Amino acid sequence: MTVREFEAEFKKLYLPLGMYALRFVGDVDSAEDLVQDAFVKAWQSIGDGIVIDNFKAYMYRCVRNECIGLLRRRNDIVGIADMPDVEDDDIDTSERDARLWRAIDALPERCRIVFLLSKRDGLSNEEIAAELGLSVKTVKNQMTKAYSRLREALSPERKPFFLPFL
């Protein structure tokens, strides 16, 4: 695997692997650290001459092992016991979550802020309007705009999606 190929795989897999790790370790910083550590170990393995046939599967396995290591260091026996083997559903869910967050990040700033305050933080339209100094009608319009753009951004999948924090 060349440096360019590795960089391309990194860019493609980083966010989905982060979403995968986040489900098990519970915080973004730890999930990011685990994914970075997994990529470093993969690069070292490649440097040592190990041929990786299915890089995506290899990386999910590496991240899973990194998660187990962190849970062991935390003495989280329940977390380790609940950690399933890597399955296609886990990969699909991680990739779907990554697409969703990319689409949310691509929303215009005010639209993204309103959307996250509503769906992530659970604020009502009235609470959002008061916090941001907007009218309730503007908040409703921004939510409509967000849903429309997210639907459009995620439509090539042709699968129904849900927002995991709804």
**Quick one: 75 and 35 in the same domain?**
yes
81, 115: one domain: no
pLDDT at 156: 62
Q: Does this model's pTM top 0.85?
A: no
Range(s) of the domain holding residue 137: 106-166
Q: Are 48 and 118 in a shared domain?
A: no
Q: State the DSSP H helix or E strand holding residue 127, giving kind and residue range, or none if neither.
A: helix 125-132
Residue 78, burial from CB neighbour count under 10 angstroms (0-12, 13-18, 19+)? exposed
In the DSSP assignment, the letter for residue 75 is T
- 112 and 69 co-located in one domain: no
Give yes or no: residues 66 and 119 share one domain: no
In a domain, 131, yes or no: yes
Per-residue confidence (pLDDT) for residue 83, from 0 to 100:
66
CA distance 74 to 15: 24
CATH code, domain with 6: 1.10.1740
Residue 157 in domain: yes
Whether residues 2 and 81 fall in one domain: yes
Neighbours of 137 (CB within 10 A): 10
Give the C-alpha separation, 28 to 65, whole Å: 17
Q: What per-residue confidence (pLDDT) applies to 28?
A: 85
71/43 Cα distance (integer angstroms): 23
Residue 119: count other Cβ atoms within 10 Å of its Cβ.
16
Are 77 and 1 in a shared domain?
A: yes
Residuewise pLDDT in 10s, the chain (166 residues): 788 988 888 888 888 888 888 888 888 888 899 999 999 998 988 888 888 888 888 898 889 889 888 888 887 666 666 666 666 676 777 777 778 888 888 889 988 899 888 888 888 899 999 988 989 999 999 888 888 888 887 776 544 444 555 4
DSSP annotation of 50 reads -
What confidence score (pLDDT) does residue 47 get?
83
According to DSSP, residue 85 is labeled P
The reported pLDDT for the residue numbered 82 is 64
**Nearest-10 Cα torsion for 85, 67, 78, 90:** -40
CA distance 144 to 140: 6
Question: How many independent structural domains does the chain possess?
Answer: 2
